[in-house]
Amino acid sequence: MMANHKKKTWLFNDRLIEIKRGEVVTSTVNLSKRWNCSRNKIRHFIELLEKDAMVEHKKDRGYTHLSICNYETYQDKGTGEGHQKDRQGTGKGQARDTTKECKELKNVKNIYIPKNNQLNEIEESLNDLQDQFKNRNVKSEFQHFKDYCEANGKKYKNYLAAFRNWLRNENYRTEKDAPIVEKQIIIACPNGHVKRKSKRGINAVCPTCYEQLIDQDKLQLERAIA
């Protein structure tokens, strides 16, 4: 449906690009809007089409240049009726093509995309997410989200959906799920013999006078009051 029926030129960044019959010049951004899926899935979809020898993908910076393999095979050029179909198409033909696109994209959506690829894609779209969640610091929250997943071994099929839920719900990290951070404190002898680092809740005594070591902040507060 998107392929050119005859050769033409296209102006892009002050240079003319020749688009031949059976070729498509577009972008992953436009395709993601057309098919309502992420750019990463679009790239995977194009790779699948290339592996199946259905399209050839020319590597061009800033746009996507595709050539449909065997394009002429699927076009009826021998009769006037064929020319008419080639120029205008039919409602039924467009419906079939649209249905085929939907089925192909449905298959792509079932493909698992590695975690790092998904996180990289989210990082590229942080500015767009910031526009949607103006009351959140999206860049900071994304770092918290990654740390949370790493610390708790969390895995998601769709990390973008999980991160959106994270941004929507400020209490997404429950006390049960949040990683436990053990705060270290300084405990000291009340007679000034020794002080050292310790975890809160650990009891210890001074090896010199055998007095119980006390939280240094608490000890300083008691001396200030006295």
**Strand duo 55-58 + 15-19: pairing:** unpaired
DSSP 3-state assignment of 78? coil
For the chain, the average pLDDT equals 75
**Which pLDDT tens digit goes with each residue over 4-56?**
777 777 666 566 778 788 888 777 777 877 888 888 888 888 888 888 888 88
Contact 23, 3 (CB under 8 A): yes
List Cα–Cα distances, 74 to 17, 45, 106, in angstroms.
Answer: 25, 21, 24
Predicted confidence band at 142 (pLDDT cuts at 50, 70, 90)? Answer: very high
User: Where are the chain's structural domains?
Assistant: 8-109, 116-168, 184-225
Check: pTM over 0.75? Answer yes or no: no
Pick the CATH number of 8-109 from 2.40.128, 3.40.1350, 1.10.10, 2.40.160: 1.10.10
- % of the chain exceeding 70 in pLDDT: 71
Residue 177, pLDDT above cutoff 50: no
β-partners of residue 184 are: 199
